[in-house]
Every structure is written in structure tokens, then in C-alpha cells.
Amino acid sequence: MGRSPCCEKVGLKKGPWTPEEDQKLLAYIQQHGHGSWRALPPKAGLQRCGKSCRLRWTNYLRPDIKRGEFSLQEQQTIIQLHALLGNRWSAIASHLPKRTDNEIKNYWNTHLKKRLTKMGIDPMTHKPKSHALGSGEPKDIANLSHMAQWETARLEAEADNMLINIPNVGLICDNALLTDVNYVGNLGACAIVKASDHSYQDEQLKGIMENSMQIEDPNSSTNYVSDSLRFPSFVEDGYTDLPNATGPADDNVGAKEMCPTHESCGLFSWMKSTFQQ
DNA sequence: AAGTGCGTCAACCGCCAACAC
DNA sequence: CGTGTTGGCGGTTGACGCACT
């Protein structure tokens, strides 16, 4: 049998907070700080348990909270970090200034999880569903092991406050089934936008592609790439072995290998070989 | 207009680790 | 070292609003 709830005491209120209660809590904390949460409610004149007060403050009343729709950049970050950290919402929240772990958790459960599932991606493993359990072949096991090592290295670097800067990848192609944030294994996020939908892709990509590189699908008949987003500076800095990334429309050897999830395509291999050093 | 189903999200519950004694 | 307390975390619930029939 578990411990009895902290609000079991007679007279303690539960449920939604009223504006009056919010005001009392806010005023008290602004004046005295929260101190001991357990001791706070009677001092603030609230018929709540300390836990409820703490939750209300951290998830709603804190002045440094950003509310409202998640930007594409934020969505991308959540997906990336979830692939890396799993359901460690507070750790994920620490990378998203002004967002609470509760809000991120809700957003993941109600939006992102469903979206990944719809895209045929297992939201827990971040792998295509058909590959979620792996084939059991030595090659797959080796890959998983390699990726695990890579993630470990990343986590260690993160702990040292030296987060490795892995670029995100944008792919514009005519036959894209996806018009949203995707991912490339656990290495980076990938924005796939249908090339013919010029009306929104520029703004959409700008949101996603901050500090990102962009790869144009050479198979695209439209070949639309916004100049402002065209080809990253780091390609000029030496990353020149992209799989046809900068090639003309008919230079499509690598692009033919592109797949919706990029798990096994040239893009994925390229990222692995380039960044797993 | 009423009923139903579904999505969203604030809030709660219970577990756990850290800390004080 | 054992025990009690506290705060933090992730999982879950349920009230609410909206869309649809």
C-alpha cells in the first residue's frame, strides 16, 4: 500500500485553482519567496497542500513561463531530445527555456507522439516501426551498439557543458509524403517539405532550420530552395562529402536512395560517417 | 437542441532520491 | 545506519470544450 495522499487532511482543497487562490500564492511568493512548500499554504492563507502550491507555481504562475503554441524549432528540439533522453521531461525542459516539463510532456503525448506514429515511426525508439525490434542481424546489433556509444558520448559532452553541435537536415523533394519535422536516426532532425508547396515551405523551414544545413532533393523537378536557406556555411567549412547535396537536378545517384525516414538511405549513412568521429 | 465521442491540458497521485536528524 | 520529511519527477486522470451526428 502506498503512502497516503498529501492532501488527505480534512479541509484541504483540490481541483482547479481560482483566480483568488492564484493571487494569494503569487503575492506571497513575490513577497517572501516560497521557502518550505509544506509550510507555505497556511502562511499564504491557502487551503491547499504544499505540493499543489508548488505545482501551480512551477507550471503556471512563475513569471518566466512561455505559454501557447510550440514553435517548429521547439518541436524539433523536443523530438531530438526525446530520442536522446527518453521520457526525462525535466531534462528535456531544461533545454527549452521558459517551457515546463509538464507542458512538454502534454505536448508530446497529445501531438508529437501521435504524429510520429502516423508517420510510421515508433515514438519510443524513434525508429521506423518495421525496424523497431531490429532484425537481430549482427549488422543491426553493431549499429545499435555504435549509436548507443554515440549517445553516451553526447550525454557526457552535454554534462560537461560542451554539447556537440549536430546539424539538422532539411530535405525538399517533390514526392515527400511528410510535411513536418522528421528525424535522422538519433543524430539530428530532418525537415521534409514538399517542394511544390512554395506558399508555406519557406517560413516553415526557417523555423526548423535555424543553425541547420539543407539538402535539396536532386530528383525534384521544381528544385525550389530559398536563397536564404541555401546550403550551410559548414559545408564550405570542409563538409563537402554530402550525398549529392549540392548537385544539379540530374545528379541524382544518392538521392535515389532517399527514403521517407532516412533510416537506411544515403543521407543517414552520410550523417553517421560524418559525425561519428 | 441534445447526445456522444474525442482531444487537450491542468492537476493529482505515487514513487523515489536527497537530506536532516 | 535507520527513519522520517521534503521536493522533484513521470504517469495518469478527469474536467472541459469542441466537432460531429
- From-to residues of CATH 1.10.10.60 in chain A: 72-130
A1 closest-nt by C1' vs CA: B14
CB A174 within 8 A of CB A221: yes
The reply to whether the CB atom of residue A136 sits less than 7 A from any atom in nucleic acid chain C is no
Task: Return the minimum-mean-pLDDT range out of A138-152, A212-226, A240-254.
Answer: A240-254
Look at residue A89 in the predicted model and tell me its pLDDT. 92
pLDDT of residue A125 exceeding 50, the answer is yes
- Residue A216 dihedral angles phi and psi, to the nearest 5°: -95, 135
Look at residue A103 in the predicted model and tell me its pLDDT. 93
Query: What is d(CA A272, CA A83) in angstroms, rounded to the nearest whole number?
Result: 16
Look at residue A10 in the predicted model and tell me its pLDDT. 56
**Distance CA A27 to C1' C14 in A:** 29
The reply to whether the CB atom of residue A90 sits less than 7 A from any atom in nucleic acid chain C is yes
Angle at A142 between CA A141 and CA A148, to 5 degrees: 90
Q: Across chain A, what does the average pLDDT equal?
A: 59
> What mean pLDDT comes out for the span A14-39?
90
**Distance CA A102 to C1' C11 in A:** 11
Task: Return the minimum-mean-pLDDT range out of A8-17, A48-57, A117-126, A239-248.
Answer: A239-248
Q: Say if residue A241 is exposed, middle or buried (CB neighbours under 10 Å; 0-12, 13-18, 19+).
A: exposed
Q: Which CATH number fits domain A72-130: 3.40.50.970, 1.10.760.10, 1.10.10.60, 3.40.710.10?
A: 1.10.10.60
Q: For the segment A75-106, what is each residue's pLDDT rounded down to a tens digit?
A: 888 988 898 888 999 999 998 888 999 999 99
